[in-house]
Structure formats: structure tokens, C-alpha cells
Amino acid sequence: MEHIVIIGNGVSGVTLARHIRKKSDKKITLISDETDYFFSRTALMYVYMGHMKFEHTQPYENWFWEKNKINLKKGHVKKIDTENKQLFFDDNTNMTYDKLVIATGSKPNKFGWPGQDLEGVLGLYHKQDLEKLEELAPNNAVCKRAVIIGGGLIGVELAEMLHSRNIPVTFLVRESSFWNSVLPVGESEMITRHIQNHGIDLRLNANLKEIRSDENGRAKSVIIAETGEEIECDLVGLTAGVSPNINFLKGSSIETDKGVLVNRYLETSVKDVYAIGDCAEQREAIGNRKSIEAVWYTGRMMGETLAQTLCGNRIQYNPGNWFNSAKFFDIEYQTYGWVFSEKNKKENEQHFHWKHKSDTKCITIAYDKNSRKFLGINAFGIRMRHEVFNRWLTKEKTIDFVIESLHEANFDPEFYKKYEKEIREAYHQQSETINA
């Protein structure tokens, strides 16, 4: 019986195992050195905030795996011998495979800062990070201040988590406004104000120089590179992005760059070895997408796609229209299609931006100023329907159609105030100004 071994029990690896089992009776082994069972990584913050317990983050009961004949192994792979199709573990055991899938996800970035490996310095990615956070910052008596380095989505999640326990937070962001490398200026500035309005000490244009240690090897302060200011703290959160977790592949014959290099079939340079999820790097980027996408739903889609190939239906990975969602404290964010920041705008890309007077709701619609083709939308504080925008993007609707049909896409519950009329009026007023 063919043995498929999957290294990594995140969403991509688990989705692959489930879909292989639906289609075949192949032997499947899932390997993880993090947890015994799959859990929802995006829910870690809600465990710390008291909204749920860790066991609630496990989508499947513990008996699910045995019932579905998916073997689980807790262990760390230290070496892969692709010629003899063998894995070697750090407990000196080994395992053979017929097909191997690397789905090891990401690890927090470290940029060689002095003190980055001290006690009291952590990321927010693994279950062990959550456990360490609970130990280091159970309340504001033990942790009198935390400093977060890096202004991405994980950074704002960590800030909200600590804020929920009344722990003062200083947030060092190298940009001039929050996430302005991704968001257009109006949105970035609104989110900057929103974070500050929650009492977060947000330092813009600020880079970390070093993390200083006390006499016990524990972080006691950070130094800001630009000013030399020292900020005392009991916890340092490193949230300056993530990178593929592939150090264990050094010395193997599997070709890597930043991630494990794959083609559109998710095949690596070695026969019978594949890679999916955050650790996979497309040799040729797909459309406007980055060659590495550390996004939950793309990991799931890769798992579903590769399951087809491994069960005899070889198909290409095709993620379709880009979308994503996140939350900035109280403001929900959704994006469909492509809306680039000012720095990254494409040729002929025009933006229509509307912001509500509450300073907590806004939308930006990107369109081609020549053809008027709808390119994408960012929505903050207004929930939108994924399937509607997916259809409009695929059918290449115009911005004028989208503006007149926005009510079809609104997903806010009944009795929520709707803003389509106000948005439409602002659009027509802006259009008249542009055309005057």
C-alpha cells in the first residue's frame, strides 16, 4: 500500500490528509513536533483573551484520526534522504515513505537584532508561544509593559491580546502610518488612529536597535534605533512577518530559495516530493500574487489540489481571485481582488475612497481609469459577500456597475445601518470633480 507522509499538521497538511482519505485507502502519516492534534492557529488570540479554551480550537475530536485511518506521529524531522525515501527524527528513529509532502508552515522573522533570543522574547505563531505568553504576561502586575516589534496583522493581534488584560503596550512600526506598504493612505491613517484610540503607544518611523538583558538573561528593555530611547519592558513580541520553516531541509537535494520551490502542480525538484502551504514558493508567481502566500485559505486550497494529484487526477493549483480578511481591534477588514498602496499602484489604477464620519468605516475601490474595469475593493467596518465580489471580478464588471449594485454585496445583519446611498453619492460627486 502506498505510504504518503505529510510533515506538518497545519491547515494545508490536514486538508490534504482528509481529502486523500476521501478519495483513497492509501496509508497516511501526519507528522508534527508542535501539537498532538490539529488546531486553528488563527484562534490562538481568543484563547488568551478568554473567549475560548484551547480544546475549542480543535475542529476534530481526538477519535477522528484513528477512525479515518490517519496516523499521527509527534516528532521533529532533522534530515531527509530523498534517494532512499527516508526521514530521520531527532530521537534517532526513522520512517520510509513513497510520497512525501512538506507542509511545515512559517516561523517568525528574526533579523539578527542583539538580544532577539533572550528569555521574554517571543513570536505569536505556535501553541508554545501562547503557553509562553500566558506565563510571561498573565496580568499587568507581572508584565508592566510589553513592546511589539513590527506592524503587520500578527502585531496588531498581539497588541489587542495584551490590551485585553490591561497590559500597557508600545508598538514599534517602521512605516509612517500603520501597514501603509499594503493599504492605501486613507485606510492606513484610519487604522493608525484606531490603534492609538485604544491606548496603544504606537511609535511610527521606529526601528528596533537592540533588546537589552537583565542579569538573568531575560529581556528588560528595548532601544529605538532612530532616537536611542530605552523603553523598559517585561515582554518583547517579534511580529515583523514570517518566513518558511524549512531549516531542516539544508543539505537535502530538495531545491529551495526562501521557501521550497514548486511548480504549478506543487511538485518540488525531487520526484515524489511536494510542498504546500506557507513553506511553498511558486517558481513563477501566479498573477499579482506573491510567490509565497502565508494565508490560511491558500494553504487549504493547496491541500485540496494536491490530494487530487496524489489520487490520480493531476491538476494545477489555481487559487482564483485574491481575497483576505482580518481584524484591527473593533474594525473588521475584507479585501477582494487587488487594491494596491500608493507606492505599489499599477499603471492606470485609480481609487475611489469613502470614509464614514465615525472614522471606523471606509471602503476603497480600485478600477482601471481607461476601461473602468473593477479591480478590487477594501472594506473596513462593513461586511461584504465573498461570492458576489468573486463573481463581479471574474465577469470583469465596471466600477459603475459595482457602485450601483453594492447593496447586493452587503453582508451586514438586519437592522445594521447601510451606507450604500452615501457611498454612491460620494462616488458621483468625486466623478464629477475628476471629470470637470
Cβ distance 22 to 106 under 8 Å? no
Cβ distance 367 to 375 under 8 Å? yes
Residue 300 is placed in which grid cell?
Answer: 487549504
Q: Is residue 317 part of a domain?
A: no
Same domain? 130 vs 235 = yes
Cβ distance 47 to 53 under 8 Å? yes
Same domain? 330 vs 285 = no
Report pLDDT for 35: 86
Split the chain (436 residues) into runs of 10 and give each run's mean pLDDT: 96 97 97 89 92 92 95 95 96 96 94 96 92 95 97 94 98 96 96 98 97 96 97 97 94 95 98 98 95 94 98 97 96 98 94 97 97 98 96 98 96 86 92 67
Report pLDDT for 42: 87
Same domain? 103 vs 162 = no
* Total-model pTM: 0.93
Cβ distance 159 to 148 under 8 Å? yes
| Residue 380 CB contacts under 8 Å (≥ 6 apart), including other chains | 187, 190, 191, 328, 331, 332, 333, 360, 361, 362, 363
Cβ distance 110 to 68 under 8 Å? no
DSSP at 229: -
Same domain? 332 vs 417 = yes
Report pLDDT for 413: 85
Same domain? 181 vs 76 = no
Report the number of distinct structural domains present in the chain: 3
Closest by alpha carbon to 239, among 175, 155, 133, 174?
155
* Single residue among 206, 240, 274 that ends a domain in this structure: 240
Q: Is residue 152 part of a domain?
A: yes
Q: Which residues sit opposite 207 in a β-bridge?
A: none
Same domain? 135 vs 147 = yes
Residue 401 is placed in which grid cell?
Answer: 456597475
Q: Is residue 113 part of a domain?
A: no
Cβ distance 321 to 358 under 8 Å? no
d(CA 198, CA 189): 15
CATH number for the domain that contains residue 386 = 3.30.390.30
Same domain? 275 vs 258 = yes
Same domain? 8 vs 41 = yes
Same domain? 303 vs 411 = no
Q: Is residue 422 part of a domain?
A: yes
Half-sphere CA count of 79, side-chain side, radius 13 A: 10
Q: Is residue 141 part of a domain?
A: yes
Report pLDDT for 151: 85
Report pLDDT for 36: 87
Same domain? 100 vs 194 = no
At CA 178, angle to CA 174 and CA 181, rounded to 5?
75
Q: Is residue 55 part of a domain?
A: yes
CB-neighbour burial class of residue 251 (10 A; exposed 0-12, middle 13-18, buried 19+): exposed
Cβ distance 218 to 235 under 8 Å? no
Report pLDDT for 435: 63
CATH number for the domain that contains residue 210 = 3.50.50.60
What DSSP element (H or E) covers 94? strand 94-96
Same domain? 369 vs 272 = no
* Single residue among 191, 217, 240 that ends a domain in this structure: 240
Same domain? 43 vs 140 = no
Residue 118 CA to its chain's centroid (Å)? 25
Closest by alpha carbon to 310, among 103, 104, 34, 105?
103
3-state helix, strand, coil in the chain (%, to 5): 30, 30, 45
DSSP at 384: B
**Is the alpha carbon torsion for 225, 230, 231, 235 positive or negative?**
positive
Residue 102 is placed in which grid cell?
Answer: 512538506
One-letter amino acid for residue 304 of the chain = E
Q: Is residue 116 part of a domain?
A: no
d(CA 88, CA 79): 5
* Single residue among 286, 310, 334 that ends a domain in this structure: 310
Q: Is residue 315 part of a domain?
A: no
Cβ distance 380 to 333 under 8 Å? yes
**Domain region containing 384:** 323-435
